[in-house]
């Protein structure tokens, strides 16, 4: 049976998680196999495949974070001899299930014939409110995994264990990055004690929310490519913000399809993983469908997926906005025959703006009272809200006014109205005048954006006076609206008054963490060997940008093609 074809060179296949259940009864929404009909054309010739569209359930489970090989609680004797380890399975999805599982495990381990009521056993486990209580014999050493603390909502720095003699002596210590341990001491004797681990922040016990930030769509039949091993089988990467959410499902259509080489096979295997390459934990829901586009054309184009963490071992100074990568193997291309374009970029989080404030010439507020100057800059500002900014200004003025004690009572009053507008109130005293100068960029952030390039100057003289800024204070105004992707793959082009090797200008939208390039700007390669690459993400000033959260890598999808 031939593949359904649009023409002699292209074909479409829809794979579904509820197909081939006889051959693969364990098919799941996020990992499934489809057996193709016999005599399909995929077993003949050479094909490339791209993801065209996808629908999937939007209901994600909550589960424990433990890998099956990582024990949650370990017990040993005072001398270090192992007694037992407790492993928590990932399929427990409620706090009560975790409690019941641990209670059953304790019963199995410590009711065994080889553990009587002697010195080397743990007796009981109880949960009351936000407290985990272990009935422990003093000859038992308890190791509790840090991840168990995180999953159950405990803190690791402020928790205390109640000592057998009362008080709140801290008897929990951090052995290493992975475990917190209770170590018995000879002074405690050999009786049973109650080891209570309290939640100092009063948080409720909770499990991990498995809703991903990114979704990697993997097809295991793809041939090896130039991407790193972690991204080798990935058809495309999506973020939830790019998916259309219906009542029970997510839908996605790919704007720029990336074609990958696929090996001959009668089975297609699909896996959906999150940003940490863990399989998605999808609850019961509608089946997962992928619409795949196949082509047998002799396409020499090839994609490369780049992560800012790909070559951390070779380049330890890599960061998300400036990094070098080394591809798995060398690729030499014909001189002056190839081009490259960015097809999509995935940011780890929103782009920050604090690095912009470091320029004292652009961001300052200057008060002159009785011929004395008080200068406020944002060089040391570390806040994240409008209130933080106003508090910083007032704090800096107060700090400098404390030195000029005779004019301390003349500081103007800065307040935010409910709608976010800034008001400044000045009460003149002793006939002393005040003058305030605000740089254009500082005034722009504070809410006065109608002043052009001139300095905003307020000079109430020696009379009481109020001023209200016309717009709300907003730090977001300094978030770059254009980002520039630099790379040594391309030759420099003229940017303003200098040359810069820019691959793509990216319009910045703080509500989107991924950009699918609607128009592919192919630029000639500057060299023939593309194994080693360097990338920078810079703002309109040419400065490296900073992300609010660097917890995840920056991902780039590149397309290489022969000149047309």
Q: Let me know if residue 269 belongs to a domain.
A: yes
**Residue 217: band (very low, low, confident or very high) from pLDDT cuts 50, 70, 90:** very high
Cα 73 → chain centroid: 29
Residues 434 and 368 sit within 8 Å (Cβ to Cβ): yes
For residues 206 and 90, the model is more confident at 90
Same domain, 283 and 140: no
Characterise 314 by phi-psi region: left (phi > 0), alpha (psi -120 to 50), beta (else).
Answer: alpha
State the average pLDDT for the chain. Answer: 76
| Domain boundary residue, one of 141, 169, 198 | 198
Count of positions (residues) in the chain: 564
Question: At residue 425, does pLDDT exceed 50?
Answer: yes
Structure confidence at residue 531 as a pLDDT band (50, 70, 90): confident
Read out DSSP for 97-140? Answer: HHHHHHHHHHHHHHTSTT--SSTT-EEEEEEETTEEEEEEETTE
Identify the residue with better confidence: 266 or 33: 33
Convert the pLDDT of each residue in 464-497 to its tens digit. Answer: 778 888 888 888 887 778 889 999 999 888 888 8
First to last CA, the chain: 35
Same domain assignment for residues 377 and 522: no
The separation between CA 450 and the C-alpha centre of its own chain, rounded to angstroms, equals 37
- The first and second tokens of residue 65, run together, are 């974070």
Looking at 420, 451, 477, which one is the last position of a domain? 477
* CATH number of the domain that residue 557 is part of: 2.60.120.1100
Strand partners, 324: 534
Classify residue 560 by burial, with Cβ atoms within 10 Å: 0-12, 13-18, 19+.
buried
Q: What is the mean pLDDT of residues 88-106?
A: 73
Average pLDDT in the 408-412 region?
Answer: 64
pLDDT higher than 60, residue 189:
no
CA dist., res. 238 & res. 240, Å (int) = 7
Q: What is the mean pLDDT of residues 280-294?
A: 86
CB atoms inside a 10 Å sphere around CB 197: 24
Residues 531 and 460 in one domain: no
Higher pLDDT: 262 or 144? It is 262
- For 542, phi and psi rounded to 5 degrees? 90, 5
Calpha distance 395→376 (Å, rounded): 9
At residue 18, the pLDDT reads: 92
Residue 213 lies in a domain: no
Contact yes or no for 504/485 (Cβ under 8 A): yes
Alpha-carbon distance 558 to 341, whole Å? 6
What the block records as the tokens of 396 is 């800096």
Can you give the pLDDT at residue 74?
Answer: 80
- ∠ CA 131-135-137, nearest 5°, is 140
Q: Give residue 536's pLDDT.
A: 94
Continuous segment of H or E residues that includes residue 421: strand 421-426
Closest by alpha carbon to 325, among 503, 487, 217?
487
* Listed range (24-28, 243-247, 515-519) with the worst mean pLDDT: 243-247
pLDDT of residue 324: 93
512 in a structural domain? yes
SS3 209: strand
State yes or no: pLDDT of 162 exceeds 50. no
Q: 267-273 and 140-145: which strand pairing?
A: unpaired
Would 206 be classed as within a structural domain? no
CB atoms < 10 A from the CB of 283, how many?
Answer: 13
Number of domains in the chain: 4
Which region among 123-137, 183-197, 543-557 has the lowest average model confidence (pLDDT)?
183-197
Q: Do 459 and 485 reside in the same domain of the chain?
A: no
* Same domain, residue pair 135 and 52: no
Q: Are residues 20 and 105 in the same domain?
A: no
Give the pLDDT band (50/70/90) at residue 158.
very low
Same domain, 363 and 450: yes
469 and 483 share one domain? no
Res 553: pLDDT? 87
pLDDT of residue 486: 95
Helix (H) or strand (E) holding 396: helix 386-401
CATH number of the CATH domain containing 45: 2.60.120
Q: Sheet of 434-438: strands edge to edge?
A: 372-377, 364-369, 434-438, 456-461
Could you say which of 411, 444, 477 is where a domain stops?
Answer: 477
Query: What is the span of the domain harbouring residue 413?
Result: 359-477
Q: Provide the pLDDT for residue 474.
A: 86
Task: Tell me what pLDDT residue 342 has.
Answer: 92
Residues 134 and 194 in one domain: yes
pLDDT higher than 90, residue 236: no
User: Coil, strand or helix: which one is 230?
Assistant: helix
Whole-number Å distance between alpha carbons of 562 and 564: 6
Mean pLDDT of 532-546: 88
- The SS3 assignment for 12 reads strand
Query: Among 432, 342, 423, which Cα is nearest to 386's?
Result: 423
The residue-averaged pLDDT of 213-241 equals: 83
209 within some domain = no
- Residue 270 is predicted with a pLDDT of 95
DSSP per position, 446-485: HT---STTSPEEEEEETS-EEEEEEEE--GGGGS-SEEEE
Indicate if the pLDDT at residue 8 is higher than 70.
Answer: no
118 strand-pairing partners: none
Please report whether residue 4 resides in a domain. Answer: no
Q: Are 487 and 428 in a shared domain?
A: no
The DSSP bridge partners found for residue 69 are none
**When comparing pLDDT for 133 and 360, which is higher?**
360
What are the structure tokens assigned to 340, written together?
A: 């490259």
Count how many Cα atoms sit within 13 Å of the Cα of residue 219 in the half-sphere of its side chain. 28
pLDDT attached to residue 233: 87
Note whether 160 and 78 are same-domain residues: yes
Contacts of 109 (CB under 8 A, 6+ apart): 75, 83, 84, 86, 115, 122
């Amino acid at each position: 049976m031939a593949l359904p074809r649009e023409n002699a060179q292209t074909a479409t296949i829809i794979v579904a998680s509820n197909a081939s259940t006889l051959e693969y009864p364990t098919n799941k929404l996020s990992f499934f196999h489809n057996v193709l009909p016999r005599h399909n054309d995929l077993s003949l010739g050479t094909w490339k495949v791209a993801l065209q569209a996808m629908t999937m359930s939007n209901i994600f489970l909550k589960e424990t974070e433990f890998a099956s090989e990582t024990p949650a609680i370990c017990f040993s004797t005072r001398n270090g001899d192992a007694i037992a380890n407790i492993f928590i399975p990932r399929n427990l999805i409620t706090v009560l299930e975790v409690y019941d599982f641990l209670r059953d495990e304790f019963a199995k381990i410590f009711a065994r014939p080889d553990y009587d009521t002697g010195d080397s056993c743990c007796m009981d486990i109880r949960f009351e409110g936000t407290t985990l209580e272990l009935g422990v014999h003093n000859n038992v050493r308890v190791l509790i995994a840090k991840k168990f603390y995180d999953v159950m909502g405990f803190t690791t720095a402020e928790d205390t264990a109640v000592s057998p003699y009362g008080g709140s002596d801290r008897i929990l210590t951090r052995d290493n990055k992975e475990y917190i341990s209770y170590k018995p001491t000879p002074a405690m004797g050999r009786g049973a004690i109650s080891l209570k681990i309290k939640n100092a922040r009063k948080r409720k016990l909770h499990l991990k929310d498995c809703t991903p930030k990114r979704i990697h769509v993997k097809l295991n039949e793809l041939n090896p490519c130039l991407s790193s091993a972690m991204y080798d089988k990935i058809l495309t990467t999506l973020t939830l913000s790019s998916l259309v959410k219906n009542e029970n499902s997510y839908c996605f259509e790919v704007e720029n399809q990336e074609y990958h080489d696929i090996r001959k096979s009668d089975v297609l295997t699909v896996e959906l993983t999150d940003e940490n390459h863990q399989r998605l934990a999808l609850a019961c829901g509608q089946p997962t469908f992928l619409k795949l586009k196949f082509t047998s054309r002799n396409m020499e184009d090839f994609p490369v997926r780049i992560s800012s963490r790909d070559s951390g071992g070779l380049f330890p100074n890599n960061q998300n906005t400036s990094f070098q990568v080394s591809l798995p193997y060398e690729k030499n291309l014909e001189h002056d025959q190839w081009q490259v374009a960015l097809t999509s970029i995935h940011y780890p989080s929103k782009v920050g703006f604090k690095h912009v404030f470091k320029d004292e010439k652009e961001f300052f507020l200057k008060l002159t009272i009785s011929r004395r100057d008080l200068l406020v800059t944002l060089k040391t500002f570390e806040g994240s809200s409008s209130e933080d900014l106003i508090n910083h200004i007032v704090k800096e003025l107060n700090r400098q006014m404390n030195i000029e004690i005779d004019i301390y009572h003349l500081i103007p009053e800065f307040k935010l109205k409910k709608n976010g507008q800034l008001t400044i109130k000045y009460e003149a005293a002793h006939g002393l005048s005040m003058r305030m100068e605000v740089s254009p960029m500082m005034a722009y952030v504070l809410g006065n954006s109608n002043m052009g390039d001139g300095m905003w100057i307020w000079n109430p003289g020696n009379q009481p006076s109020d001023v209200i800024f016309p717009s709300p204070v907003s730090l977001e105004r300094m978030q770059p609206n254009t980002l520039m992707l630099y790379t040594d793959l391309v030759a420099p082009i003229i940017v303003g008054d200098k040359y810069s090797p820019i691959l793509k200008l990216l319009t910045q939208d703080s509500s989107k963490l991924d950009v699918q390039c609607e128009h592919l700007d192919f630029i000639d390669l500057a060299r023939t060997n593309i194994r080693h690459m360097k990338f920078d993400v810079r703002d309109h000033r040419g400065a490296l940008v900073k992300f609010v959260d660097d917890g995840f890598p920056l991902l780039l999808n590149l397309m290489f093609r022969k000149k047309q």
